[in-house]
Amino acid sequence: MMVLTVVNVGWDLIQYYNTQVLNVPDSVFSGCGYVGNMILWDWKFAQLLEYFDEVDTHNMDQGDVCIWYDTMDETHCHVAVFDGWDGYDCWYFSQNPNPCRVMTVEGLGNPRAFRRKKETPPAPPEPTPVITPNVPEDKTRNQIKVLIDTLYVRTTPGGQDIGFANPGYYNYLETQEEEFNGVKYLWYRIADSNWIASKEGEWTEVHPKEEETKEQIQKEYAERILKNMPTWLESIIEK
């Protein structure tokens, strides 16, 4: 059993442990002279609590940082890493005396223990809004068919993205050529403040409405006359 009774704190171990293992800035455990000042100086203690939570010494976990200090003698102090309890003694990974080893610490009273705060997980990304096609294929309308799942919808040609257009058919109301990130695209407005860029054959298929021929117009006129003929005849007979 190695017992620490003479206090002469070295910083190399605790600085390496905190910066390389716990990812704590080295400034947290420096600039205070004796380690006891980590507790005694309010500003250093506040800095310590930015990265650590103080825990009850009866509930220490392996890896907790322990600081011994004496309010009457700032040189009577120590810092080590808690390793475990064997049922009788607490054991710490300590640098003093060299070499670094697991040992008990006696003659300093009880330490105060600090546990690295858990990293706050990043907030989950906001769900990406999607624009859902709600029109069937219609050859009498100007339409664009989205072929991919990740075609951005933007507020203006080349503007802020607001989500993705789901695959399917969209009526388009106007077109505009615009450059975005150094590349020229033909943009289609599928709704108010909803624009998508076309990359024909890869991202989209564009289907302009079919223009009626002279024969189609004449045929539609004749069909309309025939459809309305009974009504006209009835009105004439009544008169």
Residue 16: per-residue pLDDT: 87
Higher pLDDT, 70 or 215: 70
Euclidean distance between CA atoms 97 and 7, whole angstroms: 8
Euclidean distance between CA atoms 184 and 13, whole angstroms: 59
- For the cut 60, the answer to whether the pLDDT of residue 217 exceeds it is no
CA distances, 156 to each of 9, 122, 127, 144, 173 (Å): 64, 30, 21, 17, 13
| This prediction's pTM | 0.48
Higher pLDDT, 37 or 2: 37
- For the cut 60, the answer to whether the pLDDT of residue 2 exceeds it is no
DSSP state for residue 195 in the 8-state scheme: E
Q: What is the rounded average pLDDT of the residues 144-162?
A: 89
Task: Return the domain boundaries, the chain.
Answer: 3-116, 130-207
- For the cut 80, the answer to whether the pLDDT of residue 158 exceeds it is yes
Residue 233: per-residue pLDDT: 64
Identify the band that residue 200 occupies on the pLDDT scale cut at 50, 70 and 90. confident
Residue 146: per-residue pLDDT: 93
> In the predicted model, what is the mean pLDDT of the chain?
81
- For the cut 50, the answer to whether the pLDDT of residue 19 exceeds it is yes
pLDDT in tens, 34-55: 788 888 888 889 989 989 999 9
pLDDT in tens, 95-152: 876 778 888 887 777 888 998 988 777 777 776 778 888 788 888 889 999 999 889 9
3-4 and 101-105: which strand pairing?
parallel
Residue 79: enclosing H or E segment and its boundaries? strand 78-85
Residue 62: per-residue pLDDT: 92
Q: What is the rounded average pLDDT of the residues 209-228?
A: 67
Q: What is the rounded average pLDDT of the residues 155-168?
A: 88
Residue 4: per-residue pLDDT: 36
Residue 13: enclosing H or E segment and its boundaries? helix 12-16
Residue 169: per-residue pLDDT: 93
